[in-house]
Chain A
Amino acid sequence: QVQLVESGGGVVQPGRSLRLSCAASGFTFSSYAMHWVRQAPGKGLEWVAVIAYDGDNKHYADSVKGRFTISRDNSKNTLYLQMNSLRAEDTALYHCARAIDISGYWHAFDIWGQGTKVTVSS
Chain B
Amino acid sequence: EIVLTQSPGTLSLSPGERATLSCRASQSVSSSYLAWYQQKPGQAPRLLIYRASSRATGIPDRFSGSGSGRDFTLTISRLEPEDFAVYYCQQYGSWFTFGQGTKLEIK
Contact = CB atoms under 8 A, between A and B. Distances in A.
Interface of A: 35, 37, 44-47, 50, 59, 61-62, 95, 100, 105-110, 112-115
Interface residues of B, number: 26
Interface of B: 1, 31, 33, 35, 37, 39, 43-47, 50-51, 56-57, 88, 90, 92-93, 95-101
Main secondary structure of the interface of B (DSSP, over half): loop
A46 B92 contact: no
Nearest to A114: B44
Given A95-B44, A100-B47, A100-B50, A108 B99 contact: no
A47 B50 contact: no
A6 to B, nearest CB: 10
Nearest to A45: B98
B35 A108 contact: yes
A45 B45 contact: yes
A110 B46 CA distance: 7
